[in-house]
Amino acid sequence: MSTVFAIRDIPFSHPGSWFGISPVIAEGTLADDLHLVSHQNGLHAVLRFVPATAGATVTATPARLEWAHDAGRVELTYEAPDTVRLRGAGLGLAVLAAEPTLTPFSGTYLYRDPLDGALVFTNYGTGRRYRITVLTGDDIDVRGAQALGTAERGVVLGAGPWEIAVEEYAGDRPPYRPALGFDEAVKAADARFVAFADAVAPWRDGSTPAAELAAYVLWSATVAPAGFVTRPAVLMSKHWMDKVWSWDHCFNALALAPGRAQLAWDQFRIVFDHQDDAGGLPDSIAHSEVLYNFVKPPIHGWALARLRERLPDLDRAELMSAYAHLVRWTNFWLTVRRAPGEDLPHYHHGNDSGWDNATLFDPGRVVQSADLAAFLVLQTRELAALAAHLGLDHESQVWTGCADQLRAALLERLWAGDRFVARSCETGHTWSTDSLLYLMPIVLGRELPALVRTRLAERIGEHLTEHGLATERPTSGLYEDDGYWRGPIWAPSTVLIEDGLRRAGHIDLADEISVRFRALCERSGFAENFDARTGAGLRDRAYTWTASAYLILAAAHVERHRRQTPKGIPPRT
């Protein structure tokens, strides 16, 4: 593939693998050298790769990572999700434990296995072993084997030629034997990525220049089931945001659905594998933890409706299971999160909304907000539609009535004549700030009265910068360039609002939002969020829901354009 990416922004990894090769060794921390960074039991930089000659240029493509210097080069590729192969010619390489100090409860220990002579690191942080097997070459220096305390531990390879394999595994395993040659491993990895990109973005053309890189971000961030991760899962990142959050996964599912149906369905269902007794979903899932201290917004009905359009072959058993879980998740909001005598449910904190520190929550945290009510209207509508599809006619009628009641309560309680407001569950007082979150009810599309739709669209336009939708109006006194949800552009808000505007009939504005966000990604990559004034990427730079948002919007753009363009006319860039 021709896709080349910056290793400082996007880690080099492979589907199924729990590790990647990256200089990012902690939140916001970049090392001088590339590391093998594992995400089992948290984020841990385990091994450090140090070329013998300083100044080597690093080039990364989906199938091959290379350090190149006038003296020679070192190449790395994945043979399997748990195994990488490295070879060098003219350039030496040291593979060193990233932590120099070993204690009884931390650090990395190195020993030579008497069984086959392989060098094995055991790492306390991950609880895994990392075995280096020398395949060719004899200019090799082993440092710190069996050393305790502080020492340099590792394997130093000379100018070569040489070749090694590095494996990550638990417990003991038979000696390593290569399954194929290095060049064959590169070709196989490349073929796997090409097949993935062709499946999820077969529509890509000159008007969608970032589609292959977006596909790589998703492909490389996928991990195999392990620990609390019950299904193949697309992490938000193989940097420090190495979890699945209970709304992020919906966008990844939608992007994958057209070409990777089972993987897409796994993304949607994975959080429901950890649904609690009250029907609540976890805040996040990682290899070794599931957090329940917050929840995330109920966008799952919105997502399921679109997934069913993309996955027409879902069988009845899967749909019945999804329906039952979605019923419990909806009833969580209508019981546990709806106070006695109240029509509308509430959030406990901004984190529950997914917009952690949005200005909507400045006057109070325990609030009724219009976005929550709107999402639940969509969710109960989807339950009604799915129940009807499954032949549960009475339940369909019940959910239709529930949706009507929620919509009426939203407009009666939280529409203040020209804007939506938030309402304190403690005092009943209402307020409004310049957060884009107040405008999220546009997701209801034509369910809203025409006057409400028009006013929301006008206000959304006030948030639109050259680069996309700012989460706080740029003229607000509370706007912050790098303020998380107090200014920066985010993928989920963009996709939800763009979709709602289309269904509300504001097509031109939806088109403009799509154009600007896609251009932003093509220029600044797939960051967690973006500076709304400059378009610079912020925070984690390899965020999968951003890549998914690009794929969702780009696919829809290409489809619309192809429908409107006579055959023989080249695509508009």
Structure tokens at 320: 């019945």
Beta strands (DSSP E) in 193-333 are 222-223, 233-234, 244-245, 284-286, 289-291
Q: Where are the domains of the chain?
A: 19-190, 446-573
Task: List CB contacts of 560: < 8 A, sequence separation 6 or more.
Answer: none
Distance CA 107, CA 437 (A): 44
Give the pLDDT of residue 462: 98
Helices (H) and strands (E) in the chain, counts: 13, 26
As a whole-number percent, the residues of the chain with pLDDT over 90 amount to 97
Residue 237 has pLDDT above 70, yes or no: yes
The answer to whether 550 and 518 have CB atoms below 8 angstroms apart is yes
**What are the pLDDT digits (tens) for 66-99?**
999 999 999 999 999 999 999 999 999 999 999 9
Question: What SS3 class is residue 565?
Answer: coil
Structure tokens at 316: 């009845």
Mean pLDDT of 283-296: 98
Structure tokens at 10: 């996007």
Question: What SS3 class is residue 569?
Answer: coil
Distance CA 82, CA 242 (A): 17
Give the pLDDT of residue 567: 64
Residue 565 has pLDDT above 80, yes or no: no
Average pLDDT over the chain, rounded to an integer: 96
Check residue 282 and report its DSSP letter.
P
Instruction: Report residue 2's pLDDT band, with 50, 70 and 90 as the boundaries.
Output: confident
Instruction: Report residue 568's pLDDT band, with 50, 70 and 90 as the boundaries.
Output: low
Give the pLDDT of residue 59: 97
**What are the pLDDT digits (tens) for 5-47?**
999 999 999 999 999 999 999 999 999 999 999 999 999 999 9
Give the pLDDT of residue 564: 85
- The better pLDDT of the pair 503, 563 is held by 503
As a whole-number percent, the residues of the chain with pLDDT over 70 amount to 98
**What are the pLDDT digits (tens) for 261-289?**
999 999 999 999 999 999 999 999 999 99
Distance CA 531, CA 313 (A): 40
Residue 1 has pLDDT above 90, yes or no: no
19-190 CATH choice from 2.40.160, 3.30.530, 1.10.287, 2.70.98: 2.70.98
Distance CA 443, CA 91 (A): 56
Mean pLDDT of 309-329: 97
- Which residue in the block uniquely carries the two structure tokens 């080349």? 4
Instruction: Report residue 570's pLDDT band, with 50, 70 and 90 as the boundaries.
Output: low
Check residue 571 and report its DSSP letter.
P
**What are the pLDDT digits (tens) for 514-550?**
999 999 999 999 999 999 999 999 999 999 999 999 9
Give the pLDDT of residue 283: 98
Mean pLDDT of 215-219: 98
Structure tokens at 204: 């890509």
**What are the pLDDT digits (tens) for 376-400?**
999 999 999 999 999 999 999 999 9
What would the 3-class secondary structure string for 304-319 be?
Answer: HHHHHHHCCCCCHHHH
Give the pLDDT of residue 571: 54
The answer to whether 35 and 43 have CB atoms below 8 angstroms apart is no
Q: Which of 21, 32, 24 is nearest to 62 (CA)?
A: 21
